[in-house]
Structure 1
């Protein structure tokens, strides 16, 4: 294990030589946390721990109050982030594990592939979760380098509910396994170190760094330097280490004189895994969590800072979504949008304080179920089955989950999220015209991408990549 650790600490990314990009193209750092909840940052009301570096990032740029993921589960959320398309459009559902024989189709265009066409060096550190077979790894999807895990950090033999179902958890560099993890306490530190190395090596030309933290997804691990630092416990310690990681990256940018030409984006793949009790994040007043299309599952914190380009201290209230990141980066860098249809729209005008017409967003879950549509301040939720913590359940604080109960929502419900972010009061009968409008949006989505809840087949769906059976 000592030798393995030394290999990790001494290993370097091997990047091809590249010409220096044009000075007007910013460096881009996209930080994607795992299961980090809406209320987990100080600027979103966190209690029990502090996040000074992330709070400063918000002060230096924009804080989003209504930022969404389209799918409240790992693989689907990541597919949407990196392609700008709803994951159900491109055939990615749920959370892929070691038994999956499919992944993100190489025909799809990722942010990394798009930016490489503009002369960017591209590196990925952290959790991938879009196919663990070689043909689906980051190095086949536009990234010059990769250091991290092929899927979630709980997909290992120590899973509390499925002991020994998963094989040993591989830590991969490029396409080679460096080690099988027996302990994850240094994972956030390693990810941070590899990110800093990538920035150092690519400081002379434009770069895109995608840092996808494994934390605060369970099982929670934290290094010795942050153990016991928060008043909340282990989850708070983990949050403080993630915040430290952001601080280290910003410090490096400042040292290299890159701070003013770097766009930093920080967000999360979905809301908290509530069944894990004290090992889950803070809902921030929202309803439910991960694995649901209520706002607690799909609304996440989001911060974007680019000194001198995004007005500091901005708060954005208009709904936006992770699918908007790719087209935003295309506009900023002058890149051409992917040839296959995507679903997002550029946020650049919004980030600069200009008025932008709202657009409808859709929340999909399970196997292509259209569970909700969001437009401006309105949210229409369709009848479906969702999971919840049973009343009277005694949540734990030892890394073991309680069982979910399942509830069937029998009737459509409408919410005004500007006054009721917790989705407590159904106002469906009060606004028939709004309901009609949202139904029209939903029907277009069903015609295009299908909807399992209404047994609709879409015309715009694409297949994922699949390994060839031998």
Structure 2
């Protein structure tokens, strides 16, 4: 009898452990994507004033990339690159998109959401979209089952032709006729659910908390099946807003308030994963869409010790903070200086889920060996280099420690290992390296423009 009780006890303890930590064949994936957050604007990346305990803890439990790159230094192209694994001109989104204007990311592109849906994932986009606000370009036409957020930058206006929910909430004296006017109403932006406007203008002081609540609900609803959550915070793009719980709390002013609230959001999501017993089945990535908007003064972020900022091909425009964790799969406490980019996320997820790569050519490469914390792993771009496009113009390339930047007939060569701030142009002393990198720029740009994705 004692033996039977003992076996039963073991059985119950085992089943209890299983219920507390569910196992899913395919990993859940969460990508946090902030807007205009500078390289330095995380505690673990050196911010002297902004407190980010949850992100710092995430780095301690996972991996921190010191040389991680967005594929553009402005919003729309950067987001197109992340979701397609390709440089922005290749997928037809080289510039920032504006409300109620033609264009967007073609819904014939294979996004991360499309690819993961093909493997049985439930998908959600929460937050900023900015890849076209007309019906055919919205997230629900790009592989996402659910959308909740602001369809473009939070300093823009509203598309007067937007679909409107019958239960729409109007604020600040707005009415339906106000929304339908073609008059530009800067900083008055809509909140959308699926493909309808549900609030106009949205109360931006609440968006970080509302995005977080929506994310938590999505996780809880889909905890038993694989899911992909793309949580693209609207902050810290100007105009800056923070909820009453965070406003006025950071030593870095309102900008710091927004980052500290985002850090809280990360913490709430990670806590939810743990409470639902799925943290060990979930890959979480945190990064930014491009460098800071330093022209905004204390309303913008910092890229120090990097040179440059948003809308430039200096490091400060492209190099962004990146932290990832996946307990048991990514080694804890790893810091890597190997180059990787947002364009590498799609092919890495393809590898992890045994999915198929898009039929059309992409530029990203599988970086799992590097992401997992393998000390012997190499940069996926060590042979081919990484390219910096400004709009449709290829201005720079990095290969290894060397970066060549060519603008308005100015040729500048930097050794980023010795000169992270790009302060010393060593082109004259290294003509062979300049010639080699110039050739790489010419050949790659020619090939890309000859092989842009084409759709009917």
What residue in structure 2 maps to residue 349 of structure 1?
369
What residue in structure 2 maps to residue 363 of structure 1?
388
Q: Which runs of 5+ in 1 are unaligned?
A: 1-20, 385-409, 450-457, 466-470
Q: Which runs of 5+ in 2 are unaligned?
A: 1-21, 159-171, 173-182
What residue in structure 2 maps to residue 391 of structure 1?
none
1:56-455 matches, within 5 Å, as: 56-156=57-157, 164=184, 166=186, 168-352=188-372, 353=374, 354-356=376-378, 358=382, 359-366=384-391, 368-384=392-408, 410-449=409-448
**Distance in 2 (alpha carbons) for counterparts of 1:143 and 1:301:** 26
How far does residue 165 in structure 1 lie from its aligned partner after superposition?
Answer: 5.2
Helix, strand or coil for the counterpart of 1:194? helix
Residue correspondences, number: 407
How far does residue 32 in structure 1 lie from its aligned partner after superposition?
Answer: 0.2
Helix, strand or coil for the counterpart of 2:205? coil
Give CA deviations for 1:217-247 in whole Å, capped at 9, x if unaligned.
Answer: 0000000011111112111111100000000
The 3 A distance-change label for structure 1 pair 49 and 464 is farther
What residue in structure 2 maps to residue 46 of structure 1?
47
Give CA deviations for 1:75-129 in whole Å, capped at 9, x if unaligned.
Answer: 0000000000111111112211113211111111000000011111101100000
Helix, strand or coil for the counterpart of 2:190? strand
**Distance in 2 (alpha carbons) for counterparts of 1:247 and 1:193:** 12
**Distance in 2 (alpha carbons) for counterparts of 1:167 and 1:462:** 34
What residue in structure 2 maps to residue 404 of structure 1?
none
**Distance in 2 (alpha carbons) for counterparts of 1:433 and 1:317:** 25
How far does residue 173 in structure 1 lie from its aligned partner after superposition?
Answer: 0.4
What residue in structure 2 maps to residue 25 of structure 1?
26
**Distance in 1 (alpha carbons) for counterparts of 2:199 and 2:407:** 46
**Distance in 2 (alpha carbons) for counterparts of 1:411 and 1:101:** 34
**Distance in 2 (alpha carbons) for counterparts of 1:33 and 1:179:** 22
Q: Larger % of helix: which?
A: 2
How far does residue 71 in structure 1 lie from its aligned partner after superposition?
Answer: 1.1
The 3 A distance-change label for structure 1 pair 235 and 209 is same
CA contact (8 A) 2:100 2:134 kept: no
The 3 A distance-change label for structure 1 pair 228 and 282 is same
Give CA deviations for 1:299-339 in whole Å, capped at 9, x if unaligned.
Answer: 10001111111111111111111111100111111111011
**Distance in 1 (alpha carbons) for counterparts of 2:26 and 2:440:** 36
Q: How does the TM-score come out when normalised to structure 2? A: 0.86
CA contact (8 A) 1:319 1:375 kept: no
How far does residue 423 in structure 1 lie from its aligned partner after superposition?
Answer: 0.2
CA RMSD for the aligned pairs?
1.8
**Distance in 2 (alpha carbons) for counterparts of 1:208 and 1:23:** 13
Give CA deviations for 1:394-450 in whole Å, capped at 9, x if unaligned.
Answer: xxxxxxxxxxxxxxxx4211111111111000111222332233223212212112x
Q: After TM superposition, what 4+ stretches of structure 1 lie above 3 angstroms from structure 2? A: 163-168
Decide which moves more: 81-90 or 168-177. 168-177
Q: How does the TM-score come out when normalised to structure 1? A: 0.84
CA contact (8 A) 1:92 1:464 kept: no
How far does residue 274 in structure 1 lie from its aligned partner after superposition?
Answer: 1.0
